[in-house]
Amino acid sequence: MILPGSDSQALGAALAAETGRELAAVTYDRFPDGEGMASVDLDGTALDRAVVVASTPSDTAYVELLQLQDAVREAGADHVTTVIPYMGYGRQERAFEPGQPVSARAVARAVATGTDRVILVNPHEASVTDFFDVPCSVVDAAPRLADPLPADLTDPLFLSPDAGAVSLAESVRDAYGGGDVDYFEKVRHSGTEVDITPSDADVTGRDVVVVDDIIATGSTMSESIGVLDDRDAADVFVTCIHPLLVRNARTKLERAGVTAVYGTDTLEREVTTTSVAPVVADALGSAAAE
């Protein structure tokens, strides 16, 4: 049985269809004092194995995830798998200054108390898998990012805004079937301010696909689009695994002159154009195989 968190309802349904598992009747309520209550109506169905699928872009989403894990244990599940399509706090994988917590480790430990196995989709740092005290594996959805791209890109260049994301750009290029790969250099000054230094790749008249793992405030992508525009690139598409798109990110991208924005359903947003369900389903295996 698949139990989706409130931020992963479409993905939960897609996973149920892909794997042949039942989609649970989950509800998300809130008490007058503000406390949440995610629960499942089992209607007499026996539950031995459960899959909780919950992205965690907020503190509330983490509490929901813990509640769903606890609800299925309470209902008798003897094996729980937790899929975290987008892992919130995943970028706090170390204490950057004395006195700070390793937040990714703190939330991972909490999650691990209620599950037997964790699956993450393209976490920002692969090292976060070590923070879970249960087996944790990663699935790579980057090749799926090629699906929504136009088939007739002009002399395409697949570009990452920093060296850390170049393997994502390579995966998308390979799945697309051709094109060059390059990367810019990025220096982050604050949560919303970044400087992008372009490479010397010639982008004049070429269609460029900028690939990153996350679009959060949109600063990285809008700076990259600006640099490409200054250098007379043709169309600039931006694509990412996790379209967090906080605050005015979408406006920043539009004002920078983006041609189109794409993302997956690890976060269900207007720009979500492709599903990670097939790659997560492969990691889960079919219900019949259990």
Residues that bind ligand R5P (CB under 6 A): 161, 164-165, 194, 212-220
26 vs 238, beta carbon nearer ligand R5P: 238
Whole-number minimum distance, CB 220 to ligand R5P, in Å? 3
Whole-number minimum distance, CB 186 to ligand R5P, in Å? 7
**Residues labelled catalytic:** 186
171 vs 217, beta carbon nearer ligand R5P: 217
Whole-number minimum distance, CB 100 to ligand R5P, in Å? 18
The three-state DSSP-derived secondary structure of the chain is CEEECHHHHHHHHHHHHHHCCCECEEEEEECCCCCEEEEEECCCCCCCEEEEECCCCCHHHHHHHHHHHHHHHHCCCCEEEEEECCCCCCCCCCCCCCCCCCHHHHHHHHHHCCCCEEEEECCCCHHHHHHCCCCEEEECCHHHHHCCCCCCCCCCEEEECCHHHHHHHHHHHHHHCCCEEEECEEEECCCCCEEEECCCCCCCCCCEEEEEEECCCCHHHHHHHHHHHHCCCCCEEEEEEECCCCCCHHHHHHHHCCCEEEEECCCCCCCEEECCHHHHHHHHCCHHHC
12 vs 243, beta carbon nearer ligand R5P: 243
217 vs 275, beta carbon nearer ligand R5P: 217
Whole-number minimum distance, CB 216 to ligand R5P, in Å? 3
